[in-house]
Structure 1
Amino acid sequence: MSALWPYVTPGIPDHLFERLPGIPLSQREVRLLLLGYLRLRADSVLWDIGAGTGTIAVEAGLLCRQGKVIAVERDPEVAQLIQTNCDRFELTNIEVTVGSAPDCLSQLPESPDCVLIEGGRSFKEILQSIWKRLLPDGRIVVTVGSLKGLYAVSEAFAELQVRNIEVAQPAVNRLETRGNQQFFAAIDPIFVLSGDKLG
């Protein structure tokens, strides 16, 4: 159990994570949604592709104490940030890999039963590469922020014959204080696509 987050429930407040300017952070409400779609088990092996700040990797590492999270990030400085956040939460079951997907995926040490893709440019190639390694009855979750990305992932899901497909476009607003006023501000909208590899 982490001294920084001594709870069994996910939903770590954003301010507890170290950040770098310009590096996006999956905000708490979005993380909770993604963790729900991933359907993790205590011993899951999760690939987090495009792990960014490492917020999902940390939350998943806390949930999957008997499993493993492999966080893939192409920028070495950002990969170091992920490691810093893992250390802050005293996690040893997260492996940070520096590399660009899909090129680095064949080198990853363990095949996953869950994969999260957080953004990217070549969705089809990444999904095809992941599909070869994803274990039977494995689960895949993808986030995209554009209509073009939505079409690309939908097409790839159809070609790969992903089953039990779900698509959501959540709207989340947070109360923010500006001066002496309080306003609701929208979190950047994303599409969440998920599905299973049967058999």
Structure 2
Amino acid sequence: MKKKLYIIGAGTGSEDFLTQRALKLMKTCDVIYSTAHRFLSGSKRKVIECSVTEMPQLIETSRGQNIALLVSGDTGFFSIAGSLSEKLENTVDIEVICGISSLQYFCSKTGNSYENIKVVSLHGREKSILGLISYNPKVFVLTGGENKAHSICKSLSEHGLTEIKAIVGENLSMPEERIVMGTVEELSGYTFGNLAVMLLENPDYVNYYIPLVDEDFQRGEVPMTKEEVRAVTLAKLAIEPCDTVFDIGAGTGSVAIEMARRAFDGSVYAIEKNPEALELISKNRVKLGAYNVKVVSGTAPDIFEGLPVPDKAFIGGSSGNMADIVRHLTEVNPGIHIVANAITLESLNAAINSFEENGFDAEVVCINSSVSKKVGGYHMMNANNPVYIITGKSL
């Protein structure tokens, strides 16, 4: 007969926050393991600490028929319960027992509702929350590893988000529990350990569903992609929330900032060589709250080295390097999706040839738009220059 394994969400670590169901089951178990440090440390129950990698062997060699495994928080909230269940499903009969998450405990402790909070785990992960905090009023963060709470506060401050409000909870439900409030700039001077969570609040967050119009951007003398062309270009790019996107020849940053709203859980790299344009991108980024836009000074494709691998790329200006840009992009990511805009027939031809030489089927759309202008009691239509939108589709 197979052994029985109960994977139990142990809440924040104190026995007071175990459910009655969990406590009753633990009384019937022959052995209790824990994958988290200090769980039930004040209890009379004998709990054996172990690592996740040890579990299959421990279960196989255990003399007990009924086994409990305590995992942190709730089994359905960024938990190892799912991966453990997959590894052990052919070895034992598994029953998963839900627990209380750190989100539930922390929000009740601080008097916050969590129904509209965006949740992210940075524990042991390489991920930026600049987009999430730009486009959400509240973000709950599981911290740890390199991404401790004070490090996240420092990073947000360095990117210009100094006034974001933060509440940090450390060692929740333990005797040494600590809850601290302040701006991220203030809390960057603190030191927090691995067992910490934080709630960030941005009263000036951006609603990324609202489209931008040309008048929203500072322009100067730098050319800008018109809003009608941006709309079609963005539709062709088909950006997803977690994408990493390049805007090559970013100009005023109008396309980059629109892309950043769609890649709200990702990053956009606005690549530009013109000093005036670089200054405009930085100003528009702050003005429109697009903090997940990263301004990169340089010429493509030389500047690509050191940047992350893009999922999508938009080429608004190539400085005559269209062929090299497309080749480099396809080398780092053979499955990349590329869209280019062109005004002249020569640029159109260069884009089509570059796409086809690198294994793409080039689709071309020509946008001829006119915008009304009031003249006296009449409305006159002013025509914009035709723009070619070239999409690289895999053959």
Say whether the fold is shared (TM-score over 0.5).
yes
Correspondence 1:103 to 2:103: no
Number of the residue aligned with 1:143: 341
TM-score (norm 1): 0.89
- What CA distance in whole angstroms lies between the structure 2 residues aligned with 1:141 and 1:128? 14
Q: How does 1:107-146 map to 2 (within 5 A)?
A: 107=306, 109-120=307-318, 121-133=320-332, 135-146=333-344
Cα offsets for 1:42-81 (capped at 9, x unmatched)? 0011100000000111111112111100000101221121
Partner of 1:196: 393
Matched, 1:94 2:293: yes
State percent identity of aligned pairs: 28
Aligned residue for 1:18? Answer: 218
Cα distance in structure 2, aligned partners of 1:48 and 1:15: 20
Tell me, what secondary structure is at the counterpart of 1:40? coil
1:165-180 matches, cutoff 5 A:
165-180=362-377
Unaligned runs of 5+ in 2: 1-134, 137-203
Equivalent residues of 1:48, 1:116 under 8 A apart: yes
Cα shift at 1:182:
2.2
Note the alpha carbon deviations across 1:105-148, whole angstroms, 9 max, x for none: 223x2110100000332211221122222x34320001111111
Cα distance per residue 1:5-42 (max 9 Å; x no partner): 63514x31111111112x11111111101100000000
Paired with 1:50 and 1:131, the residues of 2 have a C-alpha distance of 18
Q: Is the 1:5–1:12 Cα contact (8 Å) retained in structure 2?
A: no
Shift of 1:179: 4.9
Question: Which residue among 191, 200, 207 is the counterpart of 1:6?
Answer: 207
Within the candidate set 230, 238, 242, 1:31 is matched to: 230
Structure 1 distance, partners of 2:253, 2:334, is 26
| 8 Å contact from structure 2 (residues 208, 262) kept in 1 | no
Residue type matched to 2:238 in 1? R
Q: SS state of the match for residue 104, structure 1?
A: helix
The alpha-carbon deviation at position 153 of structure 1 amounts to 1.4
With normalisation by structure 2, the TM-score equals 0.46
Q: CA deviation at 1:178?
A: 3.8
List runs of 5+ in structure 1 lacking aligned partners: none
Higher RCO structure (Cα 8 Å, ≥6 apart)? 1
Alpha-carbon distance between aligned partners in 1 of 2:290 and 2:353, rounded to the nearest angstrom: 36
Contact 1:44/1:113 (<8 A) preserved: yes
- Residues 95 and 124 (structure 1), Cα distance of their counterparts in 2 relative to 1, 3 Å cut: same
